[in-house]
């Protein structure tokens, strides 16, 4: 992989992780802005193409306290801009406040939405929500869980517990 291709892959990974953070998390929690921290990535293999990049085999992107792991992660670019990221197989995304698990995740940068499908589990603290499809907006932190062929189920604990 050449130096410019490596820089493009790092920039794409940085953009993905910066945009997966809730927009106000650093300001409200006192945590440093993770988007200004270095991006680390690893995989058993990877490649860069004119239309994006792919990481295969234990693919992982980390930046600050945020991490995206999957069997494979692919970034799609258009006109040199990262537009979409897909993670497939044993998807696990974690921020300092919550974690999401599923079989597949698609993040569309234009509308700031992550769609996680499969056997989805969303946790925040002790609270747990399960379903078949999760739509999560990284800017507003709004989440919508759908049951698909099953039911949406969850356990929520009041603040005092």
Instruction: Record the pTM.
Output: 0.73
Residue linked to tokens 């988007």: 35
Where residue 143 falls among pLDDT bands split at 50, 70, 90? Answer: confident
Smallest Cα–Cα separation from 95: which of 2, 29, 161, 42? Answer: 29
User: What does the pLDDT average to over 118-126?
Assistant: 93
pLDDT at 95: 76
48 close to 76: Cβ distance less than 8 angstroms = no
- CA distances, 148 to each of 29, 54, 91, 131, 144 (Å): 34, 29, 19, 7, 12
3-155, what's its fold?
Answer: lipopolysaccharide transport protein A fold (2.60.450)
Domain residue ranges of the chain, discontinuous segments joined by +: 3-155
20 close to 68: Cβ distance less than 8 angstroms = yes
Give the Cα separation of 118 and 120 in Å (integer): 6
129 close to 144: Cβ distance less than 8 angstroms = no
Per-residue pLDDT of 54-103, as tens digits, reads 999 999 977 667 788 999 999 888 887 778 889 999 999 887 788 999 99
pLDDT at 9: 42
pLDDT at 6: 42
Give the Cα separation of 76 and 96 in Å (integer): 26
pLDDT at 38: 58
pLDDT at 136: 83
Per-residue pLDDT of 3-50, as tens digits, reads 344 443 443 443 343 333 333 333 344 555 454 455 577 899 999 888
């Amino acid at each position: 992989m050449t130096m410019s291709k490596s820089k493009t892959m790092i920039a794409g990974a940085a953009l993905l992780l910066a945009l997966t953070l809730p927009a106000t998390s650093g300001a409200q929690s006192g945590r440093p802005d993770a988007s200004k921290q270095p991006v680390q990535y690893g995989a058993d293999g990877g490649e860069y193409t004119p239309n994006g990049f792919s990481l295969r085999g234990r693919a992982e992107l980390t930046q600050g306290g945020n991490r995206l792991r999957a069997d494979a992660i692919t970034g799609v670019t258009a006109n040199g801009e990262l537009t979409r990221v897909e993670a497939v197989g044993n998807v696990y995304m974690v921020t300092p406040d919550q974690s999401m698990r599923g079989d597949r995740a698609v993040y569309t940068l234009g509308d700031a939405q992550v769609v996680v499908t499969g056997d989805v589990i969303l946790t925040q603290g002790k609270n747990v929500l399960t379903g078949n499809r999760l739509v999560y907006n990284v800017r507003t932190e709004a989440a919508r869980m759908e049951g698909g062929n099953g039911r949406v189920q969850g356990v929520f604990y009041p603040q005092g517990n």
